[in-house]
A and B are shown apart, each in its own frame.
Chain A
Amino acid sequence: MQVNNFEISVGPHIRDREDAKNIMWWVAFALLFPAAAATYFFGLKALILIIFTTLVAVASEAVFEWLAKRPITISDGSAAVTGMLMALILPPTLPLWMAAIGAIAAVVLVKGLFGGLGFNIFNPALAARAILLASWPVAMTTWIRPFDAVTTATPLFLVNKMYEIAPSYWNLFIGNRAGSLGETSVLMILIGAGILFYKKIIDWPAPTAYIGTVAIMTYLLGHDPLFGILSGGLMIGAFFMATDYVTTPVTVKGRFIFGLGCGIMTVLIRYFGGFPEGVNYSILLMNILTPIIDKSVRPRLFGEVKKRG
């Protein structure tokens, strides 16, 4: 048989342009919008915190993979995304060294030790935030007002625990309120999420189920539903955490259930739990349930024959 130097591979011989790397960098791009809002409202310090945390995340992934003798995968963008997300859910005044510990915990403890990208059970940023919250509860709940940096409480805390007047809807929407770096500006989160929707990188089931459930349950409990969805970390959680591929279900139905569960847990923690905000823990709790959801929620098989009896 004559030998030609033709490429041989299994099919398909054409592939979609979008690959995992691409997707990650698009997510990173989308996160620039809430990061910009954080810089605008909380100043240069916020920008430094975001850049620093991202760099630590990327560096710790490289070091960990080098130590573990694994291929260095920092170019896939996932460590950068984890670092950015990590920073965006930290309070603006957090010391840099604490943020660094958070980034290292996220990348090494929550992701790397579980096998790296694709194998982690928990959302790295959220799990690391939970670790920081348990370790330095005061630093992690010290909030400042935008622009003048006066220490204050978050709107959710004010309304839920102290029965004070909250900021206007408009200020909540644009992000002129106390809170974690990237969670305050609903507008910028929506712009970032809009890009990801347009690129078909995230889909509707989890965010809509999540936000919808929070709105409905808040209303049923006699609170203001609009305030309920505009405040706290709900928006960034719904659009950037509850849509994380690795730690949420793979089917459309499963993702809807995931969002539903997150919504219920969030409202329960907000109004009946010890914390003013429940987004972090509710998503982590639903991360635990993800394998079970994936096992039990399967797509309908074409030509499935109904079993009798």
Chain B
Amino acid sequence: MLQFSRLIYSMKTFGQGIHLEYKKESTKAKSIKEAIVPNRVVLPLQQNLGCPGEALVKVGDEVFEGQKIADSSKFVFAPIHSSISGKVTKIDKLPNPCGFDVPSVVIESSGVASRESPVAGQRLLESLNPEEIRKIVREAGIVGLGGATFPTHVKLTPPADKKIDTVIINGCECEPYITADHRIMLERAEDIIYGARAIAKAVGAKKIIVGVEDNKKNAAENLKFEIRNMKSENLIGVETVKTKYPQGGEKQLIKAMLNREVPSGGLPLDIGVVANNVGTAVAVAEAIKFGTPLIKRAITITGSGVKEPQNLLVRLGTTFEEVIAQCGGLTEEAAKVVMGGPMMGLALSALDLPVVKATTCILVLSKKEVKAYEEIACIRCGRCIKACPVGLMPNFLADYAKIKDWDKTEEYHVADCIECACCAYVCPSRIFLVQYFKIAKRELQLRKAVCK
């Protein structure tokens, strides 16, 4: 009986959500390879959620790899660094994969081999205080690398009245196809632990838990092994959670691991938690150990539209085209290019766009997999309600959004939507639910801004 109840209760998870086909096989055994250094990079001056930056360089300037090229006096901003050594050839509004054209710096390689990265100072975690850690993280331009790109130093600055007791390191990678975080957990366990310790020190937390979905058991085992090696068992633990989408959603993971709910409209720090992605932890470790700013990131290039799916460590500003070329190029059937996973990713119209800090994955779907869905009337089956991990009623929200009744969308808590797309995935009427919610959220935000 005990055994039986353990079977039921041992796997931690959140309520609702959906099960997907994960399709991670083609890249999960492929280690992360360093991509070719591009001759030209395009660096948008805003690559974080929050405020835009201003260029620190002008056309004609010589810049070196790792040099800060954009900064802002605003708090919610992470600086941008040059990812190659070369000359600034253009500063202009240019297209980027996240949508709107934003001011960007174009740097062309001088043809000379890169100079040594300037070392902002190799530091020892033991000698740093929380304020110094935050400063290093900010100067390195680190943002949440799970795709949300919220500046990490802001997360590491909890208000004085909020006590943080737990740091969660997110190794769920719940979107289908993507395996970059899985590889990071297998290849960079030591740095994940180092980075996690730095994050914990910065926020004053006494406990760290790494959450890994149980379809990545070898990653969890590897982390546990490394923790034992580093004799950090009393500070840091690894917890496997159920493989379910969106397990890697910050709020869902916290609920699964600690059974605490981030209050509606609140932040994890309201319940004493700071959560960061495994890739972010590695970036923090590199910034502290070597003074390396965030100029590269791990990306999974996959899907049946790519000839040789891979995991690559790509310099920011490299075009999608160049990255895909290193994976054998596109197949004949390639029909749709998505930045990010198939659930939350954005479809791109062209490949001459730069890889940015938000690029977790380049997914190319084939003609067979791409279907033009036609929306029909809601048949009120209630599947969206059963799927929504937040407890929303997507069907009614969409009805109100369609007639632009923004007050009603607010009443039905559209602001709590995490845009995971579970509702739209299960919708038999193929309604573009998330799209309506994104519009409603923006309308409400605009209205708030106007009211102020």
Which A residues are within 8 Å of any B CB, using their own CB? Answer: 1-4, 6-16, 18-20, 22-23, 76, 115-119, 245-246, 248-252, 255, 294, 298-305
Which B residues are in CB contact (< 8 Å) with A119?
377
- Expressed in whole angstroms, the Cα–Cα distance for A12 and B352 within the complex equals 23
CB distance from A74 to the nearest CB of B (A): 14
- Expressed in whole angstroms, the Cα–Cα distance for A302 and B350 within the complex equals 38
Task: Report if B349 contacts A (CB, 8 A).
Answer: yes
Task: Report if B446 contacts A (CB, 8 A).
Answer: no
Q: Are B425 and A303 in contact (CB under 8 A)?
A: no
Q: Are A14 and B349 in contact (CB under 8 A)?
A: no
Task: Report if B263 contacts A (CB, 8 A).
Answer: yes
Which B residues are in CB contact (< 8 Å) with A248?
380
Of A3, A14, A18, A302, which is within 8 A of B261 by CB?
A: A302
Which B residues are within 8 Å of any A CB, using their own CB? Answer: 15, 20, 95, 176, 251, 255, 261-266, 334-338, 342-352, 363, 365, 369-373, 376-382, 385-386, 388-393, 395-396, 413, 416, 421, 424-430, 432, 434-435
With A250-B385, A301-B416, A303-B261: A245-B434 Cβ-Cβ less than 8 Å: no
Q: Are B381 and A245 in contact (CB under 8 A)?
A: yes
Of B176, B351, B385, which is within 8 A of A2 by CB?
A: B351
Question: Nearest 7 CB-CB pairs, A to B?
Answer: A118-B377, A12-B421, A250-B382, A303-B261, A7-B336, A299-B391, A20-B428
Dominant SS at the A interface?
loop
With A1-B352, A11-B346: A302-B391 Cβ-Cβ less than 8 Å: yes
CB distance from B410 to the nearest CB of A (A): 13
- Expressed in whole angstroms, the Cα–Cα distance for A252 and B338 within the complex equals 35
With A12-B343, A14-B176, A305-B264: A20-B336 Cβ-Cβ less than 8 Å: no
Q: Are B351 and A16 in contact (CB under 8 A)?
A: no
Q: Are B435 and A10 in contact (CB under 8 A)?
A: yes
- Expressed in whole angstroms, the Cα–Cα distance for A249 and B393 within the complex equals 12
- Expressed in whole angstroms, the Cα–Cα distance for A255 and B426 within the complex equals 19
- Expressed in whole angstroms, the Cα–Cα distance for A117 and B377 within the complex equals 7
Q: Are B342 and A303 in contact (CB under 8 A)?
A: no
- Expressed in whole angstroms, the Cα–Cα distance for A300 and B20 within the complex equals 24
Q: Are B266 and A2 in contact (CB under 8 A)?
A: no
Interface centre among A15, A117, A298, A302 (most CB of B within 10 A): A302
Q: Are B424 and A11 in contact (CB under 8 A)?
A: yes
Q: Are A246 and B379 in contact (CB under 8 A)?
A: yes
Closest to B395 in A: A250
Which A residues are in CB contact (< 8 Å) with B391?
299-302, 304
Interface centre among B255, B373, B379 (most CB of A within 10 A): B379
Q: Are B264 and A303 in contact (CB under 8 A)?
A: yes
Of A2, A7, A22, A301, which is within 8 A of B428 by CB?
A: A22
Q: Are B344 and A11 in contact (CB under 8 A)?
A: yes
Which B residues are in CB contact (< 8 Å) with A7?
335-336, 347, 370, 372
